Amino acid sequence: MSTRFSLDGQVAVVTGAQGRLGPVWVDTLLEAGAVVWALDRPGASASAGFDALQARSDASRLFIGTADVTDRASIEAARDAVLAKSGVPSILVNNAGIDQPPDSGTSRARIEDLPVELFRRMVDVNLIGTFQMMQVFGTLMVERGSGSIINIGSLYASVSPDQRFYDHFPGEPPFLKVPSYGASKAGVVSMTKYFSTLWGGYGVRVNTLSPGGVLGAQDADFKQKYSSRVPLRRLAAEDDLKGPLLFLASTASSYVSGHELRVDGGFTAW
């Protein structure tokens, strides 16, 4: 590996580490040589991907911690744990977030009846949670004079969900991909630009990595519909996300800040 992509001696913090994409980011950082703090909310159930990663990882470089990104005191406690054990982190991946996978036909609502509490919850976790993590951990980087913050966005920060991807799901009312997910992620992209200008003079870079759809347990109809809309004609594999994250985390992107890197197979180029 070129030294410009090496993270040897770096300390990284990843939120939402035990969920769907958290293990991808943690694994990428570990592979590049970083010490990684994998944070998730108290009581969170680890995904199979995270369990497998933990089983094969060096316990001296992977630490498990708790942090509820909606709770400032919880974030500060996580900060204190990281500082006591590993020192000031140089990389922060703000991955914690709430998405809305297609459901089985229960707990649906038409747009005019959509509970505002659902909207608020997504904004609270996806946007305000990211803000609070940057307040607490980003400030440490500012004080030291260097760091890379990577906020995880989404292609839906740029385009609206195509509801036709979901019209084969049975049930009444029909499944509706809610507006609050994309709105919260668009806020993350905007906030990334804000902090990149605020902290650039202190040597702290702030960027967004926005994945498109990632291959998982989706049904065959969804995979076909979605893939036909992507210029590369497929969903992303987990490995497709690793290089972009490493680029933004490492000195390979030392002059990149305030940027949204879309890893979507060309979806948003149409």
Residue among 156, 166, 181, 255 flagged as catalytic: 181
Is 226 labeled as catalytic in the residue annotation?
no
C-alpha closest to that of 127 among 65, 70, 73 = 70
CA–chain centroid gap for 253, Å, is 18
Instruction: Identify the three-state secondary structure at position 151.
Output: strand
* Cβ partners under 8 Å of residue 263, min gap 6: 209, 210, 211, 212, 236, 240, 241, 244
Spatial distance between the Cα atoms of 217 and 235, rounded to a whole number of angstroms: 12
CB atoms within 10 A of CB 231: 12
What gap in Å lies between CA 224 and CA 177, rounded to an integer? 18
Q: Which helix (H) or strand (E) holds 208?
A: strand 204-211
Distance, CA of 29 to CA of 148 (rounded, Å): 13
- Four-residue CA torsion sign, 181, 184, 189, 190: positive
Look up residue 230 and give its two tokens: 């992507």
Contact between 263 and 240 (Cβ < 8 Å): yes
- Neighbour count for residue 87 (Cβ, 10 Å): 12
What is the token pair recorded at 98?
Answer: 């709430």
Q: Which residues form the catalytic set?
A: 181
